[in-house]
Chains A and B, each alone.
Chain A
Amino acid sequence: MDELFPFIIAKYNYWASLILLFIGLYGMIAKNNLMKKIIGMIIFQTAILLFYVSIGVKQGASVPILFFSEDHQPLLEASAYANPLPHVLMLTAIVVGVGTLGVALAILQKIQRVHGTIEEDEILEDMRQ
């Protein structure tokens, strides 16, 4: 028990993002409604964002913005700040996520307009006729 608890503390961020990842993937594969598939895709994206941001965390570190002492000298010590790189990557990934979500919703509207439904099996039936 004494070994298990530190192990859980050290790894639970990966578990959380992996579980979210597979919830999203399941939604994308198994759901019949295209809107629910898109929701699965967004959960998938969010899991990856969480994964990257949790990698950037450092014990005892602050946000990656420089501290200045009383005499305006910056504190330039790598251990004092969280890793800025994952934040940068995810900042841009969030915006691209909004772009993909917008395009997905636009395609969904077009599908609804053409076929009158967003259920996958009904669309396939409509296409066969």
Chain B
Amino acid sequence: MKQLTLIILAACALIMLVAASELPDWADPASPASSHLSPGFIEQAYEATHTPNMVTAVLADYRSYDTMFETVVVFLAALIIMIILRRTPHRRFCKILPQRPQRKGSDTVLKGAAQMIIPVMQIFALYVLGHGHYSPGGGFQGGVIFGASFILLALCYNLRFTLTRFRERLVLLCCAGGALLYAGIGALCLSLGWNFLGYAALAEILGVSEAMARSHGILAVEVGVGITVMAVMVSIYYDLASGGDMYEGL
């Protein structure tokens, strides 16, 4: 059976490798992918949104619907993992659960290192989030770094300590709140008589030009994305590491 799979897949791979020779050359500036939509984005994005980082401008302005539902997808992933795994162990049922190794004593070096690294990580995450207009970064990246700082805390201390610092209820509120902030910005634009997520509507409220309003709108939705991604990372880690009972992690 394995040999048959290998032969079929090898034949498919061969066909596709032959077909790949028809594709445009690597790094060809005149390739179809680089010659239709993207010059327009590169030339107009700064004028329209005042955002030097075109990736951020396209992500949160031109393709903001896509990004909004991407955020919803991540939020749904966290909810589904919770539905699948979450349980409250019964007292008598606890004995049947596989015994996880209990950590004894305290790791001074580990905890000291975590104490030094975690604040720097969190400030760096906020920098990545806030500086997404001018350098590589944005909500997704900043959120992941921020979430990783909590995971580091859970790894170096333990899960229960982390749960006292960042409760499950708060994690879920952040998950939903970030997505809601994103959708709320869109609804605000809609209520001002523009399209959903048409950030130019914010120009009157903020008292700036339309392009600057779009820049501020991008920052606002990036913050929403960052909060959701951060909370989702932490939520996924809590559920997977403890097997859903939030009792003892890795």
Query: Which residues in B have their C-beta under 8 angstroms from that of A64?
Result: 42, 53-55
Contacts known (A10-B25, A79-B29); A22 close to B12, Cβ less than 8 A: yes
Q: Which among A58, A59, A99 has the greatest number of chain B C-beta atoms within 10 A?
A: A99
Contact with A along B1-32 (1 / 0, CB 8 A): 11001100110110011001101011111010
What is the interface size of chain B, counting residues whose CB is below 8 A from a CB of the partner? 62
Assembly CA distance A30 to B243 (angstroms): 28
Q: Which residues of B contact A74 (CB under 8 A)?
A: 46, 52
Question: Which of the residues A63, A68, A77 comes within 8 Å of B136, measured between beta carbons?
Answer: A63
The dominant DSSP class at the A interface is helix
* Complex contacts, B2 vs chain A, CB 8 Å: 30
Known: A29-B5, A57-B27, A58-B27. A84 touches B140 (CB 8 A): no
Check B81–A95 contact: CB distance below 8 A. no
Q: Does B63 contact A (CB under 8 A)?
A: yes
Would you list which residues of chain B between 102 and 127 have a CB under 8 Å from chain A?
none
Tell me whether A102 and B81 are in contact (CB under 8 A). Answer: yes
Whether B42 and A76, one on each chain, are in contact in the complex, defined by CB atoms closer than 8 angstroms, is yes
* Interface class of chain B by DSSP: helix
Per-residue CB contact flags for chain B residues 232-244 toward chain A (1 = under 8 Å, else 0) read 1100100110011
Residues from chain B with a CB closer than 8 A to the CB of A109 are 84-85, 240, 243-244
Which of B69-77, B155-163, B211-219 is near enough to bind chain A? B69-77
Which of B58, B136, B144 is the most central at the interface, judged by chain A CB atoms within 10 Å of its CB? Answer: B58
Chain B neighbourhood of A60, CB < 8 A: 29
Among B33-41, B182-190, B191-199, B200-208, the stretch that binds chain A is B33-41
A1 interface residue per 8 A CB criterion:
no
Q: Is the CB of A92 within 8 A of B26?
A: no
Inter-chain CA distance A102–B58, complex, in Å, is: 27
Q: Does B46 contact A22, Cβ atoms closer than 8 Å?
A: no
**Chain A interface residue count, Cβ-Cβ cutoff 8 angstroms:** 56
**Chain A's nearest CB lies how many Å from the CB of B40?**
8
> Given A10-B26, A12-B26, A26-B6, A110 and B85 touching (CB < 8 A)?
yes
Contacting residues, chain B, for A85 (C-beta < 8 A): 33, 37-38, 41, 58
Contact partner of B46 (CB less than 8 A), chosen from A12, A76, A102, A103, is A76
- Tell me whether B26 and A57 are in contact (CB under 8 A): yes
Q: What is the interface of chain A, defined by CB distance below 8 A to chain B?
A: 7, 9-15, 18-19, 22, 25-26, 29-30, 54-61, 63-66, 68, 74, 76-79, 81, 83-88, 91-92, 94-96, 98-100, 102-103, 105-107, 109-110, 113
Residues of B within 8 A of A (CB): 1-2, 5-6, 9-10, 12-13, 16-17, 20-21, 23, 25-29, 31, 33-34, 37-39, 41-43, 46-47, 52-55, 58-59, 63, 66-67, 70, 73-74, 76-78, 80-81, 84-85, 134-136, 138, 140, 144, 229, 232-233, 236, 239-240, 243-244
Which 4 residue pairs of A and B lie closest in terms of their CB atoms, listed nearest first? A99-B77, A78-B39, A10-B25, A14-B20
26 residue pairs A–B, Cβ–Cβ below 8 Å: A12-B26, A14-B23, A14-B26, A15-B20, A18-B16, A22-B10, A30-B1, A65-B52, A65-B55, A65-B135, A66-B54, A84-B38, A84-B41, A85-B38, A85-B41, A88-B59, A95-B74, A96-B73, A96-B74, A98-B236, A99-B73, A99-B77, A102-B77, A103-B81, A106-B239, A113-B243
